Amino acid sequence: MNEVSGFHRERVRSVLNASQLLPVITINDPDDAVPLCRALFEGGIAVMEITLRTEHGLEAIRQVRDALPDVWVGAGTVTSLSEYRQAEAVGAQFIVTPGVTEALLDFALTAQSPLLPGVSTASEIMLGYSLGYREFKFFPAEVAGGVSALKAFAGPFKEAVFCPTGGIRRETARGYLALHNVLAVGGSWLTPAEAVARKDWASITEMAVASLADVNG
Protein backbone atom coordinates (compact mmCIF):
# COMPACT_ATOMS: atom_id res chain seq x y z
CA MET A 1 0.00 0.00 0.00
CA ASN A 2 1.27 3.44 -0.90
CA GLU A 3 1.79 6.01 1.84
CA VAL A 4 2.08 9.77 1.93
CA SER A 5 5.68 10.80 1.25
CA GLY A 6 8.07 12.23 3.78
CA PHE A 7 8.36 15.32 1.58
CA HIS A 8 4.62 15.95 1.73
CA ARG A 9 4.51 15.50 5.49
CA GLU A 10 7.47 17.86 5.96
CA ARG A 11 5.75 20.42 3.72
CA VAL A 12 2.56 20.30 5.78
CA ARG A 13 4.57 20.55 8.99
CA SER A 14 6.37 23.59 7.59
CA VAL A 15 3.02 25.24 6.92
CA LEU A 16 1.69 24.49 10.40
CA ASN A 17 4.93 25.61 12.04
CA ALA A 18 5.05 28.87 10.07
CA SER A 19 2.18 30.45 11.99
CA GLN A 20 0.18 29.46 15.05
CA LEU A 21 -2.85 31.13 13.50
CA LEU A 22 -4.24 30.16 10.11
CA PRO A 23 -6.80 32.61 8.73
CA VAL A 24 -9.69 30.93 6.94
CA ILE A 25 -10.49 33.40 4.18
CA THR A 26 -13.57 33.57 1.98
CA ILE A 27 -13.34 36.06 -0.87
CA ASN A 28 -16.58 37.72 -1.98
CA ASP A 29 -14.93 40.56 -3.91
CA PRO A 30 -11.88 39.59 -6.01
CA ASP A 31 -10.37 43.03 -5.45
CA ASP A 32 -10.10 42.26 -1.73
CA ALA A 33 -7.81 39.24 -2.00
CA VAL A 34 -4.38 40.86 -2.18
CA PRO A 35 -4.93 43.79 0.21
CA LEU A 36 -6.61 41.51 2.76
CA CYS A 37 -3.80 38.97 2.72
CA ARG A 38 -1.20 41.73 2.74
CA ALA A 39 -2.84 43.19 5.84
CA LEU A 40 -2.64 39.83 7.59
CA PHE A 41 0.99 39.39 6.56
CA GLU A 42 1.86 42.85 7.88
CA GLY A 43 0.28 41.74 11.15
CA GLY A 44 2.68 38.81 11.40
CA ILE A 45 0.72 35.96 9.81
CA ALA A 46 2.50 34.19 6.97
CA VAL A 47 0.05 31.37 6.18
CA MET A 48 -3.35 31.85 4.52
CA GLU A 49 -6.12 29.39 3.70
CA ILE A 50 -8.26 30.81 0.91
CA THR A 51 -11.44 28.78 0.64
CA LEU A 52 -13.21 27.68 -2.51
CA ARG A 53 -16.58 28.61 -1.02
CA THR A 54 -17.10 31.30 -3.65
CA GLU A 55 -16.39 31.57 -7.35
CA HIS A 56 -13.48 33.91 -6.60
CA GLY A 57 -11.41 31.49 -4.54
CA LEU A 58 -9.16 30.10 -7.28
CA GLU A 59 -8.37 33.49 -8.82
CA ALA A 60 -7.70 34.88 -5.35
CA ILE A 61 -5.12 32.16 -4.75
CA ARG A 62 -3.44 32.98 -8.05
CA GLN A 63 -3.34 36.70 -7.27
CA VAL A 64 -1.99 36.31 -3.74
CA ARG A 65 0.69 33.84 -4.84
CA ASP A 66 1.89 36.37 -7.42
CA ALA A 67 1.70 39.41 -5.14
CA LEU A 68 2.98 37.95 -1.86
CA PRO A 69 5.74 35.43 -2.54
CA ASP A 70 6.71 35.20 1.15
CA VAL A 71 3.27 33.94 2.17
CA TRP A 72 2.20 30.29 2.27
CA VAL A 73 -1.09 30.19 0.33
CA GLY A 74 -3.35 27.16 0.52
CA ALA A 75 -6.74 26.22 -0.87
CA GLY A 76 -9.46 25.38 1.64
CA THR A 77 -12.89 23.74 1.41
CA VAL A 78 -11.62 21.41 -1.31
CA THR A 79 -14.16 18.59 -1.64
CA SER A 80 -13.39 16.90 -4.97
CA LEU A 81 -10.50 15.77 -7.13
CA SER A 82 -11.49 18.38 -9.71
CA GLU A 83 -11.15 21.18 -7.16
CA TYR A 84 -7.84 19.71 -5.96
CA ARG A 85 -6.45 19.81 -9.49
CA GLN A 86 -7.75 23.33 -10.10
CA ALA A 87 -6.20 24.58 -6.87
CA GLU A 88 -2.84 23.08 -7.81
CA ALA A 89 -3.06 24.69 -11.24
CA VAL A 90 -3.35 28.19 -9.76
CA GLY A 91 -0.42 27.67 -7.39
CA ALA A 92 -1.93 26.54 -4.09
CA GLN A 93 0.97 25.38 -1.91
CA PHE A 94 -1.18 23.13 0.23
CA ILE A 95 -4.73 21.77 0.18
CA VAL A 96 -7.21 21.65 3.08
CA THR A 97 -10.37 19.56 3.03
CA PRO A 98 -13.32 19.71 5.46
CA GLY A 99 -13.50 15.91 5.53
CA VAL A 100 -11.94 12.84 3.92
CA THR A 101 -12.72 10.35 1.20
CA GLU A 102 -10.52 7.48 0.12
CA ALA A 103 -10.29 9.04 -3.34
CA LEU A 104 -8.95 12.36 -1.99
CA LEU A 105 -6.50 10.69 0.37
CA ASP A 106 -5.20 8.42 -2.40
CA PHE A 107 -4.91 11.25 -4.93
CA ALA A 108 -2.94 13.40 -2.50
CA LEU A 109 -0.26 10.72 -2.10
CA THR A 110 1.23 11.71 -5.46
CA ALA A 111 -0.20 15.20 -5.86
CA GLN A 112 2.04 18.23 -6.29
CA SER A 113 0.43 20.10 -3.37
CA PRO A 114 0.31 18.26 -0.03
CA LEU A 115 -2.94 17.62 1.80
CA LEU A 116 -4.08 18.59 5.28
CA PRO A 117 -7.12 16.31 5.52
CA GLY A 118 -10.12 17.24 7.61
CA VAL A 119 -11.26 14.79 10.30
CA SER A 120 -13.72 14.83 13.17
CA THR A 121 -13.80 11.19 14.30
CA ALA A 122 -11.42 8.44 15.36
CA SER A 123 -12.45 6.39 12.31
CA GLU A 124 -11.43 9.18 9.94
CA ILE A 125 -8.07 9.53 11.70
CA MET A 126 -7.56 5.77 11.38
CA LEU A 127 -8.28 5.98 7.65
CA GLY A 128 -5.64 8.68 7.33
CA TYR A 129 -3.22 6.71 9.50
CA SER A 130 -3.52 3.72 7.19
CA LEU A 131 -2.00 5.83 4.40
CA GLY A 132 0.67 7.47 6.52
CA TYR A 133 -1.05 10.75 7.33
CA ARG A 134 -0.25 12.18 10.74
CA GLU A 135 -1.18 15.86 10.28
CA PHE A 136 -4.88 16.67 10.24
CA LYS A 137 -7.38 19.50 10.29
CA PHE A 138 -9.90 18.95 13.11
CA PHE A 139 -13.24 20.25 11.83
CA PRO A 140 -15.71 21.48 12.90
CA ALA A 141 -13.71 21.80 16.08
CA GLU A 142 -16.21 23.27 18.54
CA VAL A 143 -19.12 21.11 17.35
CA ALA A 144 -16.97 17.96 17.27
CA GLY A 145 -15.85 18.19 20.89
CA GLY A 146 -13.24 20.94 20.96
CA VAL A 147 -10.35 20.74 23.39
CA SER A 148 -11.80 17.70 25.15
CA ALA A 149 -11.92 15.69 21.93
CA LEU A 150 -8.35 16.56 21.04
CA LYS A 151 -7.19 15.49 24.48
CA ALA A 152 -8.98 12.18 23.96
CA PHE A 153 -7.39 11.67 20.52
CA ALA A 154 -3.92 12.07 22.08
CA GLY A 155 -4.24 8.65 23.72
CA PRO A 156 -4.75 6.31 20.75
CA PHE A 157 -3.15 8.61 18.17
CA LYS A 158 0.12 9.64 19.79
CA GLU A 159 1.77 10.72 16.53
CA ALA A 160 -1.13 12.79 15.24
CA VAL A 161 -1.07 16.59 15.28
CA PHE A 162 -3.93 18.88 14.45
CA CYS A 163 -5.00 22.28 13.20
CA PRO A 164 -8.47 22.70 14.71
CA THR A 165 -10.87 24.96 12.79
CA GLY A 166 -14.54 25.73 13.09
CA GLY A 167 -16.19 27.91 15.70
CA ILE A 168 -12.92 28.92 17.34
CA ARG A 169 -12.74 32.51 18.52
CA ARG A 170 -9.89 34.81 19.40
CA GLU A 171 -10.49 34.24 23.12
CA THR A 172 -10.54 30.42 22.81
CA ALA A 173 -7.60 29.90 20.44
CA ARG A 174 -5.02 29.87 23.22
CA GLY A 175 -6.72 26.95 24.95
CA TYR A 176 -6.32 24.83 21.83
CA LEU A 177 -2.71 25.84 21.31
CA ALA A 178 -1.89 24.78 24.87
CA LEU A 179 -2.42 21.15 23.78
CA HIS A 180 0.73 19.29 22.76
CA ASN A 181 -1.00 17.79 19.69
CA VAL A 182 -2.11 21.16 18.29
CA LEU A 183 0.38 23.04 16.09
CA ALA A 184 -1.88 25.78 14.75
CA VAL A 185 -5.45 27.03 14.96
CA GLY A 186 -7.59 28.13 12.04
CA GLY A 187 -10.37 30.67 12.16
CA SER A 188 -12.37 33.31 10.37
CA TRP A 189 -12.33 35.75 13.29
CA LEU A 190 -9.07 37.12 11.86
CA THR A 191 -10.98 38.56 8.89
CA PRO A 192 -14.21 40.08 10.27
CA ALA A 193 -16.78 40.45 7.51
CA GLU A 194 -17.64 44.01 8.50
CA ALA A 195 -14.00 45.12 8.34
CA VAL A 196 -13.54 43.46 4.96
CA ALA A 197 -16.72 45.10 3.65
CA ARG A 198 -15.34 48.50 4.70
CA LYS A 199 -11.95 47.59 3.23
CA ASP A 200 -10.51 48.53 6.60
CA TRP A 201 -7.20 46.78 6.10
CA ALA A 202 -5.58 48.54 9.05
CA SER A 203 -8.04 46.92 11.45
CA ILE A 204 -7.27 43.50 9.91
CA THR A 205 -3.59 44.07 10.62
CA GLU A 206 -4.42 45.15 14.16
CA MET A 207 -6.54 42.01 14.66
CA ALA A 208 -3.65 39.82 13.50
CA VAL A 209 -1.18 41.53 15.83
CA ALA A 210 -3.55 41.34 18.81
CA SER A 211 -4.49 37.71 18.16
CA LEU A 212 -0.86 36.64 17.95
CA ALA A 213 -0.16 38.52 21.18
CA ASP A 214 -3.05 36.65 22.82
CA VAL A 215 -1.74 33.20 21.96
CA ASN A 216 1.89 34.03 22.71
CA GLY A 217 1.28 36.01 25.89
Q: Residue 203 pLDDT more than 90?
A: yes
What average pLDDT score do residues 159-164 get? Answer: 98
Q: Does the pLDDT of residue 217 top 80, yes or no? A: no
Which parts of the chain are beta strand (E)? 21-25, 47-51, 72-76, 94-96, 115-116, 118-119, 135-138, 161-164, 185-187
Q: Answer for the pair 92, 85: CB distance below 8 angstroms, yes or no.
A: no
Of the listed 3, 10, 49, 83, which one is catalytic?
49
Q: How confident is the model at residue 198 (pLDDT cuts 50, 70, 90)?
A: very high
Q: Over 90: is that where the pLDDT of 216 sits?
A: no
Exactly one of 42, 83, 135, 137 is catalytic; which is it? 137
For this structure, is 199 an active site residue? no
**Would you state the pLDDT for residue 137?**
98
| pTM (2 d.p.) | 0.97
pLDDT of amino acid 35: 98
Q: How confident is the model at residue 1 (pLDDT cuts 50, 70, 90)?
A: low
| Structural domain includes residue 195 | yes
Is 49 annotated as catalytic? yes
Mean per-residue pLDDT over the chain, rounded: 97
Kindly report the CATH number assigned to the domain that includes residue 84.
3.20.20.70
Residue 180 falls inside a structural domain:
yes
CA distance 131 to 117: 12
Percent of the chain's residues with pLDDT above 70: 100
1 inside domain: no
Task: Give the pLDDT confidence of 23-72 residue by residue, as tens digits.
Answer: 999 999 999 999 999 999 999 999 999 999 999 999 999 999 999 999 99
Domain holding 155, by residue range, is: 6-216
What does the alpha-carbon distance between residue 4 and residue 46 come to, in Å, rounded to a whole number?
Answer: 25
How far from the centroid of its chain's Cα atoms is residue 5's Cα? 20
The pLDDT of 72-89, averaged and rounded, is: 98
Task: Provide the number of structural domains found in the chain.
Answer: 1
